[in-house]
Amino acid sequence: MHFTTLLTGAMAAAGVMAHPGHDHSKEIAERQEYLKHNRRDLSHCTEKLKRNGLARRSAERRAKRALELTAEKAPHALAKQKRQVDDFLAIDHESSENYTTDTNPTDLFANGNYCVLTPEVTEGPYYVSGEYVRSNNIEEQEGVYVAFDTQVIDIDTCEPVPDLYVEIWHCNSTGVYSGVVAGGNGVGTADPSNLDNTFLRGVQKSDEDGVVQFETLFPGHYTGRTTHVHVMVHANAQELENGTLYSTQATHVGQMFFDQSLIEQVETVAPYNTNTQQLTLNSEDSILSEEAATGVDPLMSYVLLGDSIEDGLLAWLAFGVDMTYIRNRKARKH
């Protein structure tokens, strides 16, 4: 098992489109204004999350989930990972101080990035409403398996937020979004059947610890954006009888990003390496640069499940949300 904590480096702003033909400069300006007057992270919640046991439960959940996934996806690495996880579970993690380069990698399950989602980040022109409430979004797609462990925290109370619907969506290994027929998305209008596709989109309801888990694939890339995953938190939503979500309001929209070295590993394997679109680096992405400039770290922490990237990974990130803010959002509908 390999562990990496993702840190945001210095990022130069670049005038990059969120999607081909979509100018997101207005959204960036609005988000910057929002963060001038609101909390940018969850650092003020650290001690409370330790005292109420949430930090400990989160670390244990990630460690156990990694073990379960390794048994399923990379059984050849199971014995080694089981030893590491057992050692981790025996450690007192009340303090995350004094970590060094010699620290057992599994100790860092107790660590994870926290970022504050805000209403102003663009949801992108490829958002589609009415998606399925499900934990596995893969369908028939091919690529590197990734399990997401996300958590919703109220930025005012520092308490987990249960019973919220969290939605994710992202492109496939060759840079195509399902449910959309538009220029710049795959072959565009040459494939009208893509309008009915639902791959790599899904919704889950947060549990008592504010946790939502997904099984999906590592996203590919397309021209003008670094590799990313969209996330939306819904309030006052309803699951319909057909298994889809009905919602007219969302509290927050944001994006999750990945370490550049991880992206480069994924891009070497099929079918990612068949993608001929230009790869935009993290340092060239204007949305990620804007996040870094405001002090937000939306990069996911992760562990590889086996000895190589092909074995898949577990990645996690916690979101701080302002539950007093509700907004209407517009989107394509199936």
Dihedrals phi, psi of 74, to nearest 5 degrees: -145, 65
Q: Please tell me the predicted confidence (pLDDT) of residue 168.
A: 96
Q: What is the mean pLDDT of residues 129-156?
A: 95
Residue 41 has pLDDT above 70, yes or no: no
d(CA 147, CA 129): 23
- Going 143 to 265 to 191 to 195, the CA torsion angle's sign is positive
Class in CATH terms, 2-8+36-333:
mainly beta
pLDDT-wise least confident of 30-39, 100-109, 219-228: 100-109
d(CA 214, CA 312): 13
Q: Please tell me the predicted confidence (pLDDT) of residue 228.
A: 96
Tokens for 329, please give them. Answer: 């959002």
Length of the chain: 334
Tokens for 131, please give them. Answer: 């998606």
Q: Are strands 228-234 and 201-205 parallel, antiparallel or unpaired?
A: unpaired
pLDDT-wise least confident of 17-31, 37-51, 87-101, 316-330: 87-101
pTM of the model: 0.80
Strand partners, 238: 246
* Segment 307-322, tens digit of pLDDT: 899 999 999 998 888 8
Tokens for 287, please give them. Answer: 């949305």
Q: Please tell me the predicted confidence (pLDDT) of residue 2.
A: 35
**Which DSSP string corresponds to 54-93?**
HHHHHHHHHHHHHHHHHHHH-GGGHHHHHHHHHHHHTS--
Tell me the pLDDT band of 262, cut-offs 50, 70 and 90.
very high
Report which of 220, 298, 286 is spatially closest to residue 252, judged by C-alpha positions.
Answer: 298
Residues 6+ apart with CB under 8 A from 305: 1, 66, 69, 70, 73, 74, 77, 81, 145, 311, 312, 313, 314
Name which residue leads in pLDDT, 253 or 121.
Answer: 253
8 Å CB contact between 317 and 301: yes
Give the H or E element holding residue 151.
strand 145-154
* Segment 181-223, tens digit of pLDDT: 998 898 888 999 999 999 999 999 999 999 999 999 999 999 9
Q: What is the mean pLDDT of residues 156-173?
A: 94
Report which of 333, 319, 179, 171 is spatially closest to residue 251, judged by C-alpha positions.
Answer: 319
Report which of 138, 153, 136 is spatially closest to residue 211, judged by C-alpha positions.
Answer: 153
Q: What is the mean pLDDT of residues 46-64?
A: 84
Q: Is the peptide bond before 271 cis (omega within 30 degrees of 0)?
A: yes
Tokens for 178, please give them. Answer: 């399902």
Report which of 168, 142, 146 is spatially closest to residue 259, judged by C-alpha positions.
Answer: 146
